Structure 1
């Protein structure tokens, strides 16, 4: 299977020597489940997108420091491509920024959350279990890094997991789109290093809580299995 990575940002230069860049993180996450996977990287943030939605068997987005409401031209073009993938019933998995972009591209709404920053590890309840969610789990705990959240879902959306902090955490759209607010590709050390570059943005108590939460186990490998099963279904 060939997966197209739609890259929406770069890891900060000072963090790349230790953690790599976002496409590398996604490759590492998914090849741990299936070493036969092939990848193509499209730098969506530089207006590079596939000429043909059938160029890859499935697509996945990276996160981004940018917001879907920032008005960037490349983001609008990516939203148009997302809408095309949906019409063509191509498989797409949206992570964080991509999770929000899918909702907006399909008619939903994204706003800056009045609950503040989601950082550290988020703890979520699985509400619905699909056949591709094997092995099944009642929880989905992942590293997060976001300030915006989906506030209104498109009509086609089905909520699979959420929490009081983020009700629309994992969402499925028909049989070909899946999106997750969390970051299965982020390691906990990367989360700690990323937060350290943004200290001025967080209330001190939120930062301390986030650092403490990084001691919890996360479901990154479980979600990687789910993602590939969804893509292949």
Structure 2
């Protein structure tokens, strides 16, 4: 299976020698879960896109320092691309900025949260009834923990959205839109070591208490590998449905 990773930013240059850029992070993450996944990277921040939407079996995004509602040419073009993916029923997993872009592109609402910064390890509750549980979400635990770094939040999800996981701080932590768009506010690709160094680099912009709580949280274990397994199963399930649909059309 070939997945396209839509790169919406770069890791800060001073952190790249130790932690690599986003392609290295995603490569390392998927290698831990399924070495058969092929990743193709597209720098959408520089206007680089697939020549055909069917170039990959599905797409996922990196995070970004930008806000989805900023009036920036590359963001506007990217929003149009996400809109196109949705109406062509091509699966997308949006991570952080991409999660918010799903809402922005599909008539939801994103804004800077009055709750302030979400940084560190954050836990959300999987509160979806069994009757609504998607088939790719296997053996879900009651709680899911991921590293986060964001001020913006999805305030109003798009129509036909199922909230899979939520917390008091971030009500739309993980959402499924019309079965083929999956949004995840957290960062399964981040490591605690990377987030620690990022927090240190940006220490001056955080409230002191928020910063300290975030640092203390980095000792907690996260469910990044389990969430990555869900992502892979999500894409495989969508691929299976697509192949079945194609087979029936050719009969």
TM-score normalised to structure 2 length = 0.91
Partner of 2:158 in structure 1? 154
- Give the alignment of 1:1-233 within 5 angstroms: 1-128=1-128, 129-233=133-237
Structure 1: runs of 5 or more not aligned: none
More helix by share: 2
CA distance in 1, matches of 2:45, 2:24: 16
Q: Is the 8 A contact 1:123 1:140 kept in 2?
A: yes
CA distance in 1, matches of 2:138, 2:24: 25
SS in 2 for 1:185: coil
SS in 2 for 1:159: strand
CA distance in 1, matches of 2:123, 2:40: 32
TM-score normalised to structure 1 length = 0.98
CA distance in 1, matches of 2:147, 2:19: 15
Shift of 1:51: 2.2
1:124-152 deviation digits (Å, cap 9, x = unpaired): 10012432122321111000000000111
CA distance in 1, matches of 2:225, 2:170: 21
Dislocated runs of 4+, deviation >4 Å: none
SS in 1 for 2:55: coil
Alignment length, in residue pairs?
233
1:62-83 deviation digits (Å, cap 9, x = unpaired): 0001111111111111111111
SS in 2 for 1:32: helix
SS in 1 for 2:35: coil
Shift of 1:183: 0.3
CA distance in 2, matches of 1:15, 1:67: 21
CA distance in 2, matches of 1:102, 1:47: 18
Q: Is the 8 A contact 2:69 2:104 kept in 1?
A: no
| Higher deviation after alignment, 24-33 or 188-197 | 24-33
Shift of 1:157: 1.1
